[in-house]
Amino acid sequence: MAILPENFFPLADKGYIAFKRATSKWWFYERGVQFEDGSKLEADDVILATGFDGNQKLKAIIPDPFRSLLEYPSGMMPLYRGTINPFIPNMAFVGYIESVSNLHTAEIRCKWLSQLVDDKFQLPSVENMIQQTRKEMEIMMQTTRFYKRSCISTFSINHSDEICEEMGWRSWRKKSWIDELFSPYTSQDYGEEK
């Protein structure tokens, strides 16, 4: 079940969140997005809801030279923390995953991305992001047939722990070590720390 952020509809009603279906060509400009009909949508952030077959849609949307950086020869998109392509500046990919725990994974990545955007922590160097991404890709290719996208089900707890640590959160999410050892993790375990 997807949950909208608090005050989503009131903010949309006030115009702070705008929706636009692109039925023609569009491109980014310095203040947001401009459309073929000449209309403009000013935006601090742009979310592309690509839906089904998003990989092909991304290739059609993202301009060169970045289009060629979307995939490695293996067919996988190199995404640090499943979100940031180290080769493409100022762009993030959320929900580009294949996992039995998609919602939890996408949610914690969104929290991570929002803290990154708010300058709560810094990304490692491009070289370190590439090294981490390659390591994760090798694990995925060895452990699952769904390796074309980020399928982290084989190491999702470790992945979530690393994201928590990067945000400055405790990686042990349970209230006691007994629960840490014997209780499964759920989305509720990854609520924001106060």
Q: Is residue 90 part of a domain?
A: yes
Q: Does the pLDDT at position 169 exceed 80?
A: yes
pLDDT tens, residue by residue, 90-135:
888 877 665 555 667 778 888 899 899 899 999 999 999 999 888 8
What's the one-letter identity of residue 175?
Answer: K
The whole-angstrom separation of Cα 156 and Cα 169 is: 16
Residue 56 lies in a domain: no
pLDDT at residue 1, as a whole number: 40
User: Is residue 110 in some structural domain?
Assistant: yes
Domain count, the chain: 1
d(CA 173, CA 163): 12
138 domain-assigned: yes
Tokens 């995939």: give the residue. 71
Classify 34 as helix, strand or coil: strand
Cis peptide bond N-terminal to 73, omega within 30: no
Residue 51 maps to a domain = no
Per the domain annotation, does 77 fall within a domain? Answer: yes
**47 found inside a domain:** no
Query: Which residues constitute the domain of residue 109?
Result: 73-190
> Residues 78, 137: contact at Cβ < 8 Å?
yes
37 falls within a domain: no
Q: What is the mean pLDDT of residues 137-157?
A: 62
What is the tens place of the pLDDT at every residue in 13-59? 998 888 887 767 778 888 888 888 888 988 888 777 766 666 777 77
